[in-house]
């Protein structure tokens, strides 16, 4: 018995009996199908502060002692909880992945994030039985570390002691299921589109096999270090690994942004402003000149339509997919980055991304995980319940193109490869940008062909904007002015004011700042969007409905017999509904009115004209 065990053993037994007696009885009944006793940290804290403090500081020893104590409890049934685990949830030490430091080593920490990768579940040996080939004796060696331990002291058989040769007897060894995960910071916890950081996680036994990429979780565990291996020996650097003790699944739409009562008041007041649409549009990428119609559509995408679950089990997405196609250098990438900043959950990715998972998902043989098959979620999985902004979509991989059909409409991604079968969720809105194949857009050639995307895929976008870079003197000089102003707005100009001989007047600086500053600050805008998406589920009024139906049937009729680049299908009608709902959400209104329908039709018409349907 170790010191920790004897010191805390009695206390732990009392804690279990006082607080978890029913759960222990249930565990005993179900054992070994159920193998874990889940303990709430706050209960332990209530029971004995010293004990709970010890758990945070010396989790390895204390969990060991707790499992030993659990085994010793007298049960009314004839059973021994030999391999039962004690899993503690609600650990208060919540540390962001990027803030993990050496002081957290060996401590109990709680890491929140999204699962990015998960390996296959494979057995790990926990006790190896070495059979001596000379005397036949079995020598048992516990395998606690990463590296396989041999019986260095020699055979333990009577009068043998030989250093081998040995053979590992599989039947006499003990194995446990093991799975490696990689957890990554959730998009909503990243400031201004910075790259997410990730952490490796080891899970064992009943924790394995339940988690797939895209799941939002809190993993409570012990932070361990693992020495890096160099080609010729060991490195002085260590990598961090979390040894999972328990996993808490987070609700799919848990509150990521804290909205205070003051925020709510501000949001409600904004929503009553008759100029709310102009204000919202003016707050999307204010440093980009023009593109009012695109910014309006981006606003609708941020607010999103309402998802519908039909009685027959079918589901119609509420997310609005949008695509910007056009000549290079016209601020497509900038618009994408801005939307990611404004979305409560935005992920930025490029179609030419080097990672194996690409945009959707991939099953890869990962060297990092001893060549185990690993399933890795791509941008659309990581953006679940948010917006995935994908730049350079024309350069995406062929596998992604075919997976996108499912990802955009059913909002799932199926992976079936090498024994891994999984369905990942991708309930996100896609905002794509693509450059035409030949550098410049040719208005007389087919759209699908120019951005090398099949028409079937294009038809899944609710809105496609084609932007042409046609020289226009008046417009060019206005853009030029705007760009130069945004470059010199703010502090820089204020500094210049102080320079002797500066020609920049105070009036000028004020005027510039007005142009460039967003009307609604990004922080409150994100909250406004989150609030609307969470609380507002608008329903369509009769005259709005009729208006959309008339427009749609007219569109179908005019498209008859023509070979349009993007066919008008029932999808367009669904798109019109989504866009109108989003328009109502901007006002936080529970009814979709004729005004919303008209706005939607105006935006849709603009797009269709450019794409070549008219």
Query: Helices 292-303 & 594-611, crossing angle to 10 degrees?
Result: 120
Q: Least distance in Å: CB of 327 to ligand ADP?
A: 7
Cβ proximity to Mg ion, 52 vs 333, nearer residue:
333
Of 34-42, 325-333, 576-584, 605-613, which segment contacts Mg ion by CB under 5 A? 325-333
Write the DSSP symbol of residue 614: -
- Our CB check for Mg ion shows the closer of 63 and 324 to be 324
**Which of 330, 415, 434, 597 is close enough to bind ligand ADP by CB under 6 A?**
330
Q: How far apart are CA 223 and CA 361, in angstroms?
A: 28
> Choosing among ligand ADP, Mg ion, none, which partner's interface includes residue 289 (Cβ < 5 to 8 Å by kind)?
ligand ADP
Residue appearing with tokens 């500053």: 517
Binding-site partner at residue 483 among Mg ion, ligand ADP, none, CB < 5 to 8 Å by type: ligand ADP
Which is it for strands 233-249 and 198-204: parallel, antiparallel or unpaired? parallel
In terms of CB distance, is 160 or 479 closer to ligand ADP? 479
Question: How distant is the alpha carbon of residue 385 from its chain centre?
Answer: 8
Pick 289 or 373: Cβ nearer ligand ADP: 289
**495 is in the binding site of which of ligand ADP, Mg ion, none (Cβ under 5 to 8 A by kind)?**
none
CB atoms within 10 A of CB 501: 4
Q: Which stretch binds ligand ADP (CB under 6 A): 92-100, 248-256, 283-291, 446-454?
A: 283-291
- Using the minimum distance from each CB to ligand ADP, give the nearer residue, 113 or 351: 351
Residue 401 binds which of ligand ADP, Mg ion, none (CB < 5-8 A, kind-dependent): none
> Measured on CA atoms in the order 74, 76, 77, 78, is the torsion positive or negative?
positive
Query: What's the CA gap between 596 and 581, in Å, rounded?
Result: 8
- Give the other-Cβ count within 10 Å of 515's Cβ: 15
Q: Give the phi and the psi of residue 555 in degrees, each rounded to 5.
A: -65, -45
Is residue 483 involved in binding ligand ADP (CB under 6 A)? yes
- Least distance in angstroms from the C-beta of 395 to Mg ion: 11
Shortest approach of Mg ion to residue 346 CB, angstroms? 17
Is residue 479 part of the contact set for ligand ADP (CB under 6 A)? yes
Q: Which pairing describes strands 463-467 and 322-326: parallel, antiparallel, or unpaired?
A: parallel
Beta strand ranges found along 96-231 (DSSP E): 108-119, 122-132, 138-142, 166-168, 174-184, 198-204, 216-230
Which is nearer to ligand ADP, 478 or 534 (by Cβ)? 478
Neighbours of 159 (CB within 10 A): 6
221/432 with CB nearer ligand ADP: 432
State yes or no: residue 374 binds ligand ADP (CB under 6 A): no
Q: How far apart are the C-alpha atoms of 476 and 330, rounded to whole Å? A: 11
Q: Which does 316 bind (CB under 5 to 8 A by kind): ligand ADP, Mg ion, none?
A: none
Quote the tokens at residue 598.
């008209």
**Options 171-179, 329-337, 409-417, 545-553: segment touching ligand ADP (CB under 6 A):** 329-337
328 binding ligand ADP? (CB under 6 A): yes
Q: Which stretch binds Mg ion (CB under 5 A): 300-308, 328-336, 411-419, 589-597?
A: 328-336
Pick 92 or 328: Cβ nearer ligand ADP: 328
Q: What's the DSSP call for residue 94?
A: B
According to the binding rule CB under 6 A, does residue 468 interact with ligand ADP? no
Asked if 290 interacts with ligand ADP (CB under 6 A), we say yes
Binding residue for ligand ADP (CB under 6 A) from 85, 216, 332, 578? Answer: 332
Q: How many helices (H) and strands (E) are present in the chain, helices listed first?
A: 19, 23
Q: Tokens for 199, please give them.
A: 């952490």
Residue of 173, 184, 245, 333 interacting with Mg ion (CB under 5 A): 333
SS (H, E, C) 477-493: HHHHHHHHHHHHCCHHH
Binding residues with Mg ion: total (CB under 5 A) = 1
Q: d(Cα 350, Cα 352) in Å, to the nearest integer?
A: 5
Query: Closer to ligand ADP at the Cβ: 199 or 288?
Result: 288
118: helix, strand or coil: strand
d(CA 114, CA 112): 7
Residue 350 interacts with Mg ion (CB under 5 A)? no
Residues that bind ligand ADP (CB under 6 A): 288-290, 328-334, 479, 482-483
Residues that bind Mg ion (CB under 5 A): 333
């Amino acid at each position: 018995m170790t010191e920790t065990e004897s010191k805390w053993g009695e206390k732990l037994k009392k804690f279990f009996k006082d607080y978890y007696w029913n759960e222990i009885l249930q565990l005993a009944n179900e054992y070994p199908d159920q193998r874990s006793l889940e303990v709430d940290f706050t209960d332990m804290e209530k029971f004995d502060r010293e004990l709970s403090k010890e758990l945070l500081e010396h989790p390895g020893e204390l969990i060991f002692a707790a499992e030993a104590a659990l085994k010793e409890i007298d049960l009314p049934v004839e059973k021994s909880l030999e391999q039962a685990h004690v899993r503690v949830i609600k650990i208060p030490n919540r540390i962001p992945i990027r803030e993990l430091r050496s002081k957290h080593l060996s401590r109990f920490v709680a890491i929140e994030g999204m699962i990015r990768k998960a390996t296959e579940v494979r057995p790990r040996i926990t006790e190896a039985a070495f059979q001596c080939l000379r005397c036949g004796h079995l020598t048992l060696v516990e395998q606690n570390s990463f590296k396989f331990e041999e019986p260095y002291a020699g055979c333990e058989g009577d009068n043998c002691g030989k250093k081998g040769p040995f053979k590992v007897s599989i039947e006499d060894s003990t194995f446990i299921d093991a799975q490696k995960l990689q957890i990554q910071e959730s998009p909503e916890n990243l400031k201004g589109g910075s790259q997410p950081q990730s952490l490796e996680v080891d899970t064992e036994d009943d924790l394995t096999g339940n988690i797939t990429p895209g799941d939002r979780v809190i993993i409570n565990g012990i932070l361990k270090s693992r020495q890096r291996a160099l080609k010729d020996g060991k490195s002085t650097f260590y990598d961090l690994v979390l040894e999972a003790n328990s996993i808490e699944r987070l609700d799919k739409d848990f509150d990521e942004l804290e909205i205070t009562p003051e925020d709510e008041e501000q949001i409600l007041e904004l929503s009553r402003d008759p100029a709310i649409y102009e204000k919202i549009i003016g707050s999307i990428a204010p440093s980009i000149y023009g593109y009012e119609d695109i910014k309006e559509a981006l606003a609708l995408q941020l607010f999103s339509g309402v998802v519908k679950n039909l009685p027959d089990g079918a589901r119609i997405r509420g997310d609005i997919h949008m695509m910007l196609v056009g000549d290079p250098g016209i601020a497509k990438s900038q618009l994408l980055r801005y939307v990611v900043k404004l979305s409560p959950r935005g992920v930025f990715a490029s179609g030419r991304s080097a990672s194996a998972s690409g945009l959707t998902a991939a099953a890869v043989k990962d060297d990092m995980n001893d060549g185990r098959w690993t399933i890795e979620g791509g941008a659309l999985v990581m953006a679940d319940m948010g917006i995935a902004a994908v730049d350079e979509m024309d350069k995406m991989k062929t596998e992604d193109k075919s997976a996108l059909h499912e990802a955009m409409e059913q909002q799932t991604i199926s992976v079936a490869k090498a024994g891994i079968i999984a369905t990942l969720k991708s309930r996100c809105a896609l905002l794509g940008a693509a450059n035409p194949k030949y550098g410049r857009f040719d208005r007389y050639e087919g759209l699908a062909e120019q951005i090398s995307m099949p028409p079937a895929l294009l038809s899944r976008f609710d809105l496609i904007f084609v932007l042409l870079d046609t020289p226009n003197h008046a417009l060019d000089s206005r853009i030029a002015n705007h760009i130069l102003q945004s470059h010199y707005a703010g502090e820089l100009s204020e500094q210049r004011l102080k320079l002797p001989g500066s020609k920049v007047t105070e009036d000028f600086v004020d005027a510039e700042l007005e142009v460039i500053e967003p009307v609604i600050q990004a922080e409150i805008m994100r909250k406004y969007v989150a609030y609307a998406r969470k609380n507002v589920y608008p329903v369509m009024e009769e005259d709005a409905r009729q208006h959309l139906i008339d427009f749609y049937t007219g569109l179908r009729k005019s498209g008859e017999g023509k070979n349009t680049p993007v066919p008008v299908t029932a999808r367009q009608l669904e798109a019109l509904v989504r866009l109108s709902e989003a328009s109502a959400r901007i006002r936080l209104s529970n009814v979709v009115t004729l005004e919303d329908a008209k706005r939607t039709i105006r935006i849709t018409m603009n797009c269709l004209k450019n794409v070549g349907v008219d």
